Structure 1
Amino acid sequence: MSKETAFHPRLAALTNEWMDLFGYFAPSVVTGVEEEYRAVRETAGLMDFTMLRKVDLDGPGALELVNSVVGRDVSKLRPGQIAYGPLVDEDGKMVDDCTVLPRGDGRVRFCGANDRDFEIFSSQAEGTGIEVREFTDAMPHLCLQGPRSREILQPLADQDLSNESFPYYTFREDVSIAGVPIFMTRLGYTAELGYELWVDRDRALELWDALLEAGEPQGMKVIGMTALDLFRIEGGFIIGGVEYDPSVSPFECGLGWAVSFDKPDVRGRAGLERDRDGTTLRLTSVV
């Protein structure tokens, strides 16, 4: 049964068109697909992305443990940087596409879309003293995407959000938006300028209301998943259950570039090497 996110009360007042996305209710359409599409391409759109799974790993050796699980070499990431890549099973087949966010002092934040992520990290951490905590519902998050997203956010922010201060594929933990503390990333799923805003659950609706108040007069729209699918396809972004399932390798879904064979520990190495050399199926785009 689909779960409700912290933003569901606000979304339910705007639409009755829903779908299930990774076990959560997500609006398929809010105002209209064409209107939502044009908003993100021309101004900005606001999306509920709470359903992405969030895991914290805390303790000495946390980054090394994560590096032994994900396909990409994240060992040299500095605090505040983000790396994207695959997480595979022992046979080298896709479990998830994910981001790794090292916070320093033995703390790593992980974001994916599969409950198996937490199970894998928990199993790998047994006996290490590393604490693994899943907190998806405790920290819902919104995406604000579009060419005017920074223009909408900056007057509400207590930190500089310029590209110089906040470049692509980085995150910050020192930002408040309209007085609400935010864990903020410069990421997106639309091929537009954009930000992800993670917020404590008890302040989620406060953040929502502030963003709507600031953004709607500038043309911002709340976006459903049908329009989002158009953005991600145009941008070449993949999603579990569409471009891959547990029978697909990273090389077949466009993530072969993010498999680091030169690191000592590569989960599913034999299967990854087999599929790198033996498969011919490749994800491509048609324009």
Structure 2
Amino acid sequence: MLRFAAPRDPALIAKWISYQVFNTERQDWRRGIEAAWRYREREQHLEVPYEHTEGPYPLGRWLSDQRRTFRAGQMTGERATELEGLGIVWDTADAAFETNLAAARAYYQLHGTLAAPRGAAILDIAVGQWLTNVRRPSGLGKDPARAARRAAALAAIDADWNPRTRGWTVDWQRHYAYLTQLLANGTRLADVEPGVTLHGEDIGRWLTTQRRDFSRLNAEQQDRLGALGITPARAVRARQASAKTSTTTTPGRGAEAFHKGLTALTQYIQREGGMPGRAHVEQLPDGPHRTGVWLANQRQRRDRLDTGQLAALADLGVDWAAP
């Protein structure tokens, strides 16, 4: 039997080694591509965890190596095209962002806002925590161009995705968005009282707080609320003056009852910033007053109230009493 010795000429030796290395690398490429193809056929994607092995083949590590080769500009166009045909994502960070962005888009379709509470989840993704993270400084990545692209993608879903840049909290933005939706769906502003909720949030109570603390809001917040017809709670002096006017224009026991009701209503609005519900009972120094029922009765007998009484109620923000 004939035996061929390894070449002894240095040039031949170098060529022989190069061939062996190239042949081994080519075989590894084919094994990697075949493993990637099998994974893609089974899972319908190529987002392979680094530690994953396809059978005995370390597919996750191999794909990581290919991404590194691609970023270094050392991969041939033919190989890059072959991997792209299988659906490789060259930048895994971008792939994760796109997955979370899809969840954010689904959340917006359901809630009409990206001001999600931190614990919110949809499509099995903790979208609330993710949105909290990306709102933080450098939360969209340290690369300015990439961060700008990501911010634009979020703004395309909801222009107010990051309310802190406008000077208010995520919680304020969420309640404002829900109030806007209630009004757009036909709810009257006068009917948004404490206890009126949407998606589990008490919008009525929030609205009462906004009226009470209107002067503490920034200019844009005030403008947004004003566009919805929301005004600050009346000054206490105006209420007291209204109550005084009503007593001087209405004689007898009716004047006393009206004054007591107006006092109770003024006290409630001063504290809560909105109108009481029908069942509300206000505590006065001389005992409880059924303020909600009293206000409903005044509405029913509106035609019998004099101009002073109507003016006093209108000054407190009772819409049906206004001329």
- Which range, TM-score by smaller chain? under 0.3
Higher helix share: 2
Query: Which protein, 1 or 2, shows the higher relative CO under an 8 Å CA cutoff with sep ≥ 6?
Result: 1
TM-score of the pair, normalised by structure 2: 0.21
Structure showing greater Rg: 2
TM-score, length-scaled by structure 1:
0.23
